[in-house]
Structure 1
Amino acid sequence: MRSIIKTELYKMKHYSIPFIGVALMLLSVLLTIFTSMANDGSVWDFTYFTEQVIKNNMTTFFPACITLIMGYLITREQRDDTLKSILTVPVSFRKLLTGKLIVGSILSLTFGIVCTVFTIIFNFIAGFPGFTLQLALRGLIQTTIVNLLLYIAVMPIIIVTSKAQSGFLVGVIFAFAYGYGGMFAAGSEFLYNMYPITAALGIVRYRAYDPSVRWNTPLCIFSLGLTLLLSVILILATDNKMELKKPAKKHVKAVPKKGW
């Protein structure tokens, strides 16, 4: 397994798609800067800015982002027609998939760090007050952990859509709708504690200082634990058969008959 993870990390040096994740983390911060211009009576400081970045990242960007990147990484061997060569080595597709999913958790944490760096930079550009190293460290911990938990929340979608060459694109659509649904789950106390996307916020105690926000941490942990268990079951149920790239049909040109 360690060799698979090291190989996947090495191969990512030659991929450009992880930079899409970096770009979307930047876009999440820029969208938050844009919303700060609205005169809605909110008092913007570093803490509130960080919280809004986490919320926008959760509902709009990260679930679809990580599903797109992982779908690309998992199906890359199919598009390059190298999967049939890999499966001749004594390594099962199940084990290969598990290694790639572990790499996805590393990417999720990395994107959390990148997002925090962008948040700090644009906080200084926007001139929001209240920045301290302690708050920056808290924002880093919350952002990275939320990203990892959101990755766990969408992992079943990634696994289910990983076998078809273009199936992950459908998964991206589902992941986007899944993440956006967190905005509607916020209307019910039980639902936002049980919905895996918003449960990620409960585990890091997002805005727990607000009396109107009442997190049930054990219920949040149960929700994401159930999602992780479902992912494990889906991995164990995965066989080594995968949709391989079909060879292109050769077009045979018809030879016209001579004579009448």
Structure 2
Amino acid sequence: MSSLLVCEFKKLKRNSILKYTVLAAFLFPIPLSLLALHANMSFDKLKMFVFVFGFYLLMPIFLGLILATLVFEERDNNTLKNILTIPISKKSLLLAKIIATLIIGVIFAVVSLIFPIILDVVRGNIDLGQFFTTLGIGLIIGVMVTVADLPLLIVVLKMKKNYLMSFVVSLSYTILSFVISLQYNRFPLPLSVVFKWSLPHISSGTMSASITRLFFSTPSCIGILCIVGFLSYYVAVKLFESEEE
């Protein structure tokens, strides 16, 4: 599996999408952090902005592009047949792509939080406990968002090298999830489930009972994500195995 993961990251390196993903994760919080510094905004508010716009808007779109790159790279270069002669099962190959995307999701989460955390450490507004708590929540949400994005893998496998449509679907899925997340409902779209689970953990203010009843509990969120992850992987494997090599 480790060799497969190395191969997957080499594909991304050739395509430069990994570099742009990390760069976007690092650059996005900088203007927000500078604005927070200028307006003397609290770390909690800055953290909220980074989580909401970075984790629930930018991250899902980039992860969708990464999934598309990992799948289309083999089709573009006709390397799938050569890879399977090792031999390697398509299940293992697909699992390596998912794990690689998961690792990148975690990297995105950590990098997105580095600059805001450093800024508030310098300002003296954050202690060691807040540092580890924020980083821990970021890692958990990074994993959850990646799993919530896995249904896009099914779409990618049906697109047949269509990068543009993959981007459009990824963008549409992200925007739809974000809009649903802001509504007073409990519609279980994976990304909105993660958002409504995480809101009490990333916000510092008190919320009314009418709002908190819309949140998903930890068992509910984990259960939904487990079902989404399993079904996405199962359907993706069936599609992947049915393709001609």
TM-score normalised by length of structure 2: 0.81
| 113-122 or 17-26, larger mean C-alpha shift | 113-122
How many correspondences in the alignment? 237
1:199 aligned residue: 193
Q: Secondary structure at the match of 1:162?
A: helix
Deviations 1:215-259 (CA, angstroms, capped at 9, x unpaired): 331332333223113213213423435477xxxxxxxxxxxxxxx
Q: Secondary structure at the match of 1:190?
A: coil
Q: 1:105 aligns with which of 102, 105, 117?
A: 102
Query: Do 2:67 and 2:156's aligned partners in 1 also have CA atoms closer than 8 Å?
Result: no
CA distance in 1, matches of 2:107, 2:143: 9
| Bigger Rg over Cα | 1
1:177 aligned residue: 172
Alignment of 1:76-225 (within 5 A): 76-123=73-120, 130-162=125-157, 164-181=159-176, 182-191=178-187, 194-204=188-198, 205-207=201-203, 210-212=206-208, 213-214=211-212, 215-217=215-217, 218-225=219-226
| 153-162 or 29-38, larger mean C-alpha shift | 29-38
CA distance in 1, matches of 2:206, 2:51: 16
How far is 1:29 from its partner?
1.0
Instruction: Indicate how the Cα distance of structure 1 residues 196 and 35 shifts in structure 2: closer, same or farther if over 3 A, else same.
Output: farther
Instruction: Indicate how the Cα distance of structure 1 residues 10 and 184 shifts in structure 2: closer, same or farther if over 3 A, else same.
Output: closer
Which amino acid letter does the alignment assign opposite residue 157 of structure 1? L
| 28-37 or 223-232, larger mean C-alpha shift | 28-37
CA distance in 2, matches of 1:117, 1:62: 15
Which amino acid letter does the alignment assign opposite residue 66 of structure 2? I
Which amino acid letter does the alignment assign opposite residue 120 of structure 1? I
CA distance in 2, matches of 1:17, 1:143: 22
Deviations 1:39-98 (CA, angstroms, capped at 9, x unpaired): 8xxx82112211210000133201001111221122212222322222333223332111
Instruction: Indicate how the Cα distance of structure 1 residues 226 and 91 shifts in structure 2: closer, same or farther if over 3 A, else same.
Output: same
- 5+ residue gaps in structure 1? 245-260
Query: Do 2:12 and 2:69's aligned partners in 1 also have CA atoms closer than 8 Å?
Result: no
Which amino acid letter does the alignment assign opposite residue 22 of structure 2? V
* Aligned-pair identity (%): 22
How far is 1:160 from its partner?
2.8
- 5+ residue gaps in structure 2? none
How far is 1:135 from its partner?
1.2
CA distance in 2, matches of 1:175, 1:11: 20
Q: Secondary structure at the match of 2:202?
A: coil
CA distance in 1, matches of 2:74, 2:97: 12
CA distance in 2, matches of 1:165, 1:120: 41
Q: Secondary structure at the match of 2:239?
A: coil
Query: Do 1:18 and 1:69's aligned partners in 2 also have CA atoms closer than 8 Å?
Result: yes
Q: Of Structure 1 and Structure 2, which has the larger fraction of its residues in helix?
A: 2
TM-score normalised by length of structure 1: 0.77
